[in-house]
Amino acid sequence: MKILAIETSCDETAIAFVEATGGLKAPQFTILGNLVTSQIALHRPFGGVVPNIAKREHLKNLPILFEEIQKIIGRKKPDILAVTVGPGLEPALWTGVGFAKEVRKKYFPKAEFLGVNHMEGHLYSFLLAKASKGKKNKSPSFKTPRVNSFFPAIAVVVSGGHTILLKVDSLEKWKRLGETRDDAVGEAFDKVARMLELPYPGGPEIEKHAKLGNAAAIPFPRPLMHSSDYDFSFSGLKTSVLYYMRDHKDANKDDVAASFQAAAVETLAKKAERAVRQFGAQSILLSGGVAANTALREALTLKAKETGAAFFAPSFEYNTDNAAMIAVAAYMSHLRKKNRRIIAQANISL
Ligand code: KG4
Ligand code: ZN
């Protein structure tokens, strides 16, 4: 099936065209086009995403990206037209939904029209791990061998707005084990970066500085790391960094970044490990923007090794927001016969 997907939940305008085959048993994806326009530079002076600027930029960028994707689509017609309906910034979501409706009316009235949960996109993005380049074309192709051998899996979904630990029984069934009680881990990276006067988004900046620093320099707390549930809390850790910076005017930024990152990563990795052991998981699935973090990938790879589980994370470009993952989730929705209403919903859960 050919899927055209549109994503505008936050500060990335994205459109992708993906070919999906294999069904729930052996899903396979070829990414024919994956276009992302980032608005980061525009939001940077404000230290975070400004919803109305995001909306304005989505309105401007969508027709440009659509024109570009049309060149890739050529005469092909998508079987599915998918659009992110939430969670996210409501004004941003509405621009994507409105644009998708126009595209459907004008170009693809026969396509199945699916609303997609952004977090399902992240969750399923592990299916975009390890690409092999097709011989005839340069489109990356993703084949998932023996998908049933992955399950049960423990999924760690970590983004700017969410931190969720799930037990995934199949491509159709999962249960949320825990989530953050306050800040999302990506949000904590962004806020700590601001304290260190590093630009937005903070995750990649913290990672860069952390590589130069000593992770054992400052013993920041690991809130809830030993609690018996699977919840997380990053607000206390963030506040500890704030107090540390207040009390140490000459603090070494690299050491602070490294010590903060180590605390955040260890908390996530410990809980994931405990869940793997408790549920006899066969794999750990990592996704969401923070999955781009090498220290986190390495820590979870190690936990997987220690527990005899496999480790899957999307190829680099599918960690942060993109529309290819929305196409993957749309294919799953189609197979699972799940349809969401095509209205923007800022707060839907996974
Ligand atoms: O999934 P995403 O692109 O958007 C949301 O759905 O929120 O995630 C963005 C988040 C931001 O908080 C950003 O700082 C974080 O992912 N991030 C990282 C890294 N790259 C992006 N956090 C830590 N290390 C990174 N390398
Ligand atoms: Zn996201």
Interval between CA 241 and ligand 2 midpoint (Å): 25
292 shares a domain with 154: yes
Strand partners, 19: 2, 30
Contacts of 315 (CB under 8 A, 6+ apart): 128, 129, 130, 131, 140
Q: Is residue 344 part of a domain?
A: no
For residue 153, give the CATH number of its domain. 3.30.420.40
Point out the ligand nearest to the CA of residue 314.
Answer: 1
Q: Is residue 186 part of a domain?
A: yes
**Residue 189 near ligand 1, beta carbon < 6 Å:** yes
Which atom of ligand 1 is nearest the CA belonging to 261? 23
73 shares a domain with 44: yes
112 shares a domain with 197: no
195 shares a domain with 178: yes
308 shares a domain with 179: yes
Q: Is residue 347 part of a domain?
A: no
Interval between CA 131 and ligand 2 midpoint (Å): 21
Nearest to 20 by CA among 325, 340, 315: 325
218 shares a domain with 125: no
Q: Is residue 142 part of a domain?
A: no
Number of domains in the chain: 2
What pLDDT, in 10s, does the model give residues 187-222? 999 999 999 999 989 999 999 999 999 999 999 999
What pLDDT does 149 receive? 85
What region does 111 belong to: left with phi over 0, alpha with psi -120 to 50, or beta?
A: beta
**pLDDT tens track of the chain, all 350 residues?**
999 999 999 999 999 999 999 999 999 999 999 999 999 889 888 888 899 999 999 999 999 999 999 999 999 999 999 999 999 999 999 999 999 999 999 999 999 999 999 999 999 999 998 767 655 667 889 887 678 888 999 999 999 999 999 999 999 999 999 999 999 999 999 999 999 999 989 999 999 999 999 999 999 999 999 999 999 999 999 999 999 999 999 999 999 999 999 999 999 999 999 999 999 999 999 999 999 999 999 999 999 999 999 999 999 899 999 999 999 999 999 999 988 889 999 999 98
Q: Using most ligand atoms within 8 A of CB, pick from 118, 189, 265, 350 the residue to mutate for ligand 1.
A: 189
**Residue 33 near ligand 1, beta carbon < 6 Å:** no
Return the residue matching tokens 């304290």: 195
Are 63 and 77 a contacting pair, CB within 8 Å? no
44 shares a domain with 118: yes
Nearest to 154 by CA among 281, 265, 269, 266: 281
What pLDDT does 219 receive? 97
Tokens of 147: 């998908």
Interval between CA 103 and ligand 2 midpoint (Å): 23
157 shares a domain with 306: yes
**Structural domain range at position 67:** 2-129+316-336
184 shares a domain with 112: no
Are 85 and 93 a contacting pair, CB within 8 Å? yes
Q: Using most ligand atoms within 8 A of CB, pick from 320, 325, 347 the residue to mutate for ligand 1.
A: 320
Nearest to 43 by CA among 29, 57, 31: 57
224 shares a domain with 263: yes
What pLDDT does 69 receive? 97
Residue 151 φ/ψ, nearest 5 degrees: -105, 150
Q: Is residue 139 part of a domain?
A: no
Q: Is residue 283 part of a domain?
A: yes
- What's the mean per-residue pLDDT of the chain? 95
What pLDDT does 340 receive? 86
Q: Whose CA is nearest to atom 7 of ligand 1?
A: 160
176 shares a domain with 284: yes
329 shares a domain with 288: no
Residue 283 φ/ψ, nearest 5 degrees: -155, 160
**Cβ count within 10 A of residue 41:** 9
Q: Is residue 342 part of a domain?
A: no
Q: Is residue 93 part of a domain?
A: yes
What gap in Å lies between CA 257 and CA 253, rounded to an integer?
Answer: 6
